[in-house]
Structure 1
């Protein structure tokens, strides 16, 4: 906080000096969007978002550009307005409606984040990875890559677009999983299943390689909490049959970390059982039923 205050003080000094010099004519300079000079009249999209998300669920969706909702060091673009409604409609179908169907509206309203911020592009990191979503304090979720969102009823859709759409659902389920486990912690035994295999080098590992050590994705290898919510997310978006295929595809042989196929399969099945048990004991949710509904909703959008 001290560094931030110091930067603002320095900036104020520079601005005061520039203004007092009287050398610059700023009469023709237009306001910079996002710095307080831009306004707009709410239109039909704003009303639809208000009626669809804010009124029933108290969720605000912000798609108008505001750089200060993001990391100011990143180069990003705003979402195209024509993708906002289809994306939010799909998110409601896959995430909101399925949870409410399984756990009730009171559960969803209690635990759901209340502020969604949309970016059209991905957020690239210095290590070559991309951030596709973030959550802050269980309240704010930032969604990236909205401009690549296409479902089968949108112009230009191809089956290759399904991976991008599923990735957006993956992010939402992942971040909501964090909110749930931060409210009620998953069993400590989960952390012991792959103890010693977590690594900060996960971005240099493929999902296929991670599977061989008993992780559902490479990102799951980053830490125990992300391991848990990656299990939740992948199990939901891929469905029970899809998760079974991931497990069945683990090859024979020994991984680079010395894991056998049998060990990897056993770890994934232990995690699966713990996720299912956690949802039932912590929130009274039949996970397999939620999983079936989520996968069906995704298939109706994409296939």
Structure 2
């Protein structure tokens, strides 16, 4: 089973709470998994059933259950008012566009069947946060959903578009892992940046990574992450945003390596999956723009 994580570098101060031996734990019947995690279905459950479960055999867990999360992390549940906007946006930007390009059968076969939704970020000891994880191609866990705001939602401002793009970056990244775990990318990919991958990528910047031929600093962590970061950034930034990154790079070597990687990604989607990456890229970016502009 594969387990992949995508990280965002941030600085923070972690605050932990503890309980004493004599503390009242309350009614343990309300602890998820011990009989207190059942509820009458409501509008959210109906939407999930009609929009995801019936057409794609996909479900989403939004009720709090510490048993499916990391026990060593301080996490918070997602706010219920965020659930439908988040999942509806995921369907429009990710699922619907892949269906239009590759067909419903493709998406039903490869889409993870289980989404776990978390309100806060998952902080790591090295100063990074985990934005999402994918496990064995069956489950995707998404964090930081309580920061999600799109056009029309209370409190939305244009600067929130970063958080929106970041969520779709996470999803496209994790789905990229599912694709390359099914059919591996060409071996020539690993030769482009051989010797340039580093373990302390979080001590660098996106700009310095660009000069070395990586689309993000996280892409420097290894060939697999490099591959899916290219997919994710090219899709979420769109053709214009991606070309803007390329035009900002001063190193001819950095530009050359990114162009080589770009060509491999485009060919991989066409030759392996029969998908026009250019068309998928346009659809994806247009869908994101509709949410934020």
- Give the Cα–Cα distance (whole angstroms) in 2 for the partners of residues 139 and 129 of structure 1: 25
SS at match of 1:96: helix
What is the CA distance between 1:46 and its match in structure 2?
A: 0.7
Cα RMSD, aligned residues only: 1.4
The aligned residue for residue 144 of structure 1 is 143
1:222-276 per-position Cα deviation (integer Å, ceiling 9, x unaligned)? 000000000000000000111110011113xxxxxxxxx0000000000000000
- Give the Cα–Cα distance (whole angstroms) in 2 for the partners of residues 244 and 192 of structure 1: 23
- Structure 2 counterpart of 1:293, from 271, 279, 283: 283
- Give the Cα–Cα distance (whole angstroms) in 2 for the partners of residues 53 and 115 of structure 1: 10
- Alpha carbons of structure 1 residues 159 and 31: separation in structure 2 relative to 1, 3 Å: same
- Give the Cα–Cα distance (whole angstroms) in 2 for the partners of residues 295 and 81 of structure 1: 27
- Give the Cα–Cα distance (whole angstroms) in 2 for the partners of residues 272 and 33 of structure 1: 48
What is the CA distance between 1:41 and its match in structure 2?
A: 1.2
- Alpha carbons of structure 1 residues 174 and 28: separation in structure 2 relative to 1, 3 Å: closer
For this pair of structures, how many residues does the alignment match?
270
SS at match of 1:72: coil
The aligned residue for residue 194 of structure 2 is 195
SS at match of 2:207: helix
The aligned residue for residue 211 of structure 1 is 210
The aligned residue for residue 127 of structure 2 is 128
The aligned residue for residue 155 of structure 2 is 156
- Give the Cα–Cα distance (whole angstroms) in 1 for the partners of residues 243 and 25 of structure 2: 65
Give yes or no for contact 2:206–2:217 (8 Å, CA) kept in 1: yes
SS at match of 2:288: helix
What is the CA distance between 1:31 and its match in structure 2?
A: 3.1
- Alpha carbons of structure 1 residues 28 and 159: separation in structure 2 relative to 1, 3 Å: closer
Query: In the alignment, is residue 268 of structure 1 matched against residue 266 of structure 2?
Result: no
SS at match of 2:115: strand
What is the CA distance between 1:32 and its match in structure 2?
A: 4.3
The aligned residue for residue 15 of structure 1 is none
Tell me which stretches of 4 or more aligned residues in structure 1 moved more than 2 Å: 26-33
The aligned residue for residue 34 of structure 1 is 32
TM-score by length of 2: 0.90
Q: Which has the larger radius of gyration?
A: 1
What is the CA distance between 1:206 and its match in structure 2?
A: 0.9
Unaligned runs of 5+ in 1: 1-23, 252-260
1:64-91 per-position Cα deviation (integer Å, ceiling 9, x unaligned)? 0001111111110000000000000000
SS at match of 1:132: strand
1:73-132 per-position Cα deviation (integer Å, ceiling 9, x unaligned)? 111000000000000000000000100001100010011110000000000001010000
Give yes or no for contact 2:28–2:34 (8 Å, CA) kept in 1: no
Query: In the alignment, is residue 80 of structure 1 matched against residue 70 of structure 2?
Result: no
Unaligned runs of 5+ in 2: 1-21
